[in-house]
């Protein structure tokens, strides 16, 4: 098995504005694992508010390259155990795990769906992100869109804006990226009209000191994002969050995401498969878990102007899963 990688700069179609800042491009590390002429691909994005440094990842890959290339082709679960022994950051572990699943499926001539006996006939629609802006501009974008579900970003709490959004006859979710206060959240969860939002994602900065005031049994469908990094926190969050956003790079890849989904379902959570601003490489990996989920937020590749891959597609919110081997990823 041969390991290689490259850093790609993705230009965004328009400014991506969220509570953490405004972004016009993203840089991503693209992992390639090759064996017998087949190539598997994985991706992780540089995210400043997660303190992700792709140059640090390159240094790590240089150190572990020989160890990875010397591994025999085993089941991805066994390969993931090997990745855990390397003590890698979750973003990098995810890119390697996804690349291996893609390669393994191509070598076995089976799709990820076939390898895991996944029934993919019923899929949620994906939301499209509406960046931070005036509520009037956000509503204009929503009304002009062909998508049916929308995740509206905000960077502060405004009762009037929230009331205006709730008047729309649209499927909306609210994502404040941790910009709300405890007082804001108490008002929201005590307001019955707020139940019209499909979910309210990561309302406050992560940490038990904040989320302990959230109540999963009240009006707001609170969804954990930064508060939900891996399977270990699910029990602790259960009284406070009704839903969880599972992102491959947060938990470490497809292999741990499957475990998270099983445990989350046992605990009664609603589940969303989410993404960063990723190319079709990252989106194709996340999309294969959509059949297990209540919500999907897989619009990352739709926000990029210079995508480099083909695979599963999200068309106006409809998830079109690739039927090709592995994760179905091809580099253009």
pLDDT tens per residue, range 29-79: 999 999 999 999 999 999 888 888 999 999 999 999 999 999 999 999 999
3-state secondary structure of 137: helix
Tell me how far CA of residue 315 lies from CA of 26, 86, 167, 175, 299, in angstroms: 22, 38, 27, 22, 9
pLDDT at position 16 is: 86
Q: With CA atoms as reference, report the closest residue to 328 among 76, 57, 106.
A: 106
Please state whether beta strands 222-224 and 243-246 pair in parallel, antiparallel, or not at all (unpaired): parallel
Give, for all 332 residues of the chain, the pLDDT tens digit: 999 999 999 999 988 888 788 889 899 999 999 999 999 999 999 988 888 899 999 999 999 999 999 999 999 999 999 999 999 999 999 999 999 999 999 999 999 999 999 998 899 999 999 999 999 999 999 999 999 999 999 999 999 999 999 999 999 999 999 999 999 999 999 999 999 999 999 999 999 999 999 999 999 999 999 999 999 999 999 999 999 999 999 999 999 999 999 999 999 999 999 999 999 999 999 999 999 999 999 999 999 999 999 999 999 999 999 999 999 999 98
Compute the distance between CA of residue 255 and CA of residue 101 in angstroms, rounded to an integer. 9
pLDDT at position 149 is: 98
pLDDT at position 17 is: 81
Compute the distance between CA of residue 214 and CA of residue 220 in angstroms, rounded to an integer. 9
* Cα 216 from chain centroid (whole Å): 22
pLDDT at position 129 is: 97
DSSP secondary structure letters along 75-112: -HHHHHHHHHHTT--HHHHHHHHHHHHHHHHHHHT-BH
Q: With CA atoms as reference, report the closest residue to 125 among 282, 276, 314, 270.
A: 314
Compute the distance between CA of residue 267 and CA of residue 261 in angstroms, rounded to an integer. 10
Compute the distance between CA of residue 85 and CA of residue 208 in angstroms, rounded to an integer. 29
- Name beta bridge partners: 11: 25
Global confidence as pTM: 0.95
- Map out the domains of the chain with their CATH numbers: 2-114 (3.30.390.10), 119-331 (3.20.20.120)
**Token code pair at residue 180:** 């709300």
Residues 6+ apart with CB under 8 A from 26: 9, 10, 12, 45, 46, 276, 277, 278, 304
Compute the distance between CA of residue 166 and CA of residue 188 in angstroms, rounded to an integer. 12
Q: With CA atoms as reference, report the closest residue to 214 among 173, 258, 250, 182.
A: 182
Strand order from edge to edge, sheet including 38-45: 2-18, 21-35, 38-45
**Token code pair at residue 289:** 């878990």
Residues 6+ apart with CB under 8 A from 84: 93
251 contacts 84 by C-beta, under 8 angstroms: no
**Token code pair at residue 299:** 């619009």
């Amino acid at each position: 098995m041969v390991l290689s990688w490259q850093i790609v700069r993705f230009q965004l179609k328009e400014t991506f504005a969220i509570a953490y800042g405004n972004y016009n491009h993203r840089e991503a590390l693209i992992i390639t694992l090759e064996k017998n002429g087949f190539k598997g691909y994985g991706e992780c994005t540089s995210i400043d508010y997660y303190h992700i440094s792709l140059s640090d990842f390159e240094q790590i890959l240089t150190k572990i390259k020989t160890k990875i290339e010397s591994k025999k082709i085993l089941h991805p679960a066994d390969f993931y155990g090997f990745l855990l022994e390397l003590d890698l950051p979750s973003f990098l572990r995810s890119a390697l795990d996804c690349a291996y699943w893609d390669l393994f499926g191509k070598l076995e001539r089976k799709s990820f769906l076939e390898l895991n006996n996944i029934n993919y006939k019923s899929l949620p629609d994906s939301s499209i992100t509406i960046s931070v802006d005036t509520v009037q501009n956000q509503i204009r974008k929503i009304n002009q869109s062909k998508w049916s579900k929308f995740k509206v970003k905000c960077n502060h709490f405004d009762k009037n804006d929230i009331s205006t959004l709730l008047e729309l006859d649209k499927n909306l979710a609210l994502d404040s990226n941790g910009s709300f206060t405890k007082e804001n959240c108490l008002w929201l969860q005590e307001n019955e009209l707020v139940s019209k939002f499909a979910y309210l994602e990561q309302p406050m900065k992560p940490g038990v000191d904040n989320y302990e005031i959230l109540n999963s049994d009240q009006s707001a469908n609170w969804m954990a994002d930064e508060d939900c990094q891996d399977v270990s926190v699910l029990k602790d969050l259960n009284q406070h969050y009704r839903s969880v956003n599972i992102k491959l790079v947060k938990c470490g890849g497809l292999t741990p995401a499957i475990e998270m989904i099983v445990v989350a379902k046992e605990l009664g959570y609603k589940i969303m498969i989410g993404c960063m601003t990723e190319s079709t490489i990252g989106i194709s990996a996340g999309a294969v878990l959509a059949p297990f989920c209540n919500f999907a937020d897989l619009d990352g590749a739709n926000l990029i102007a210079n995508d480099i891959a083909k695979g599963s597609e999200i068309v106006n919110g409809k998830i079109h899963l690739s039927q090709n081997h592995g994760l179905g990823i091809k580099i253009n």
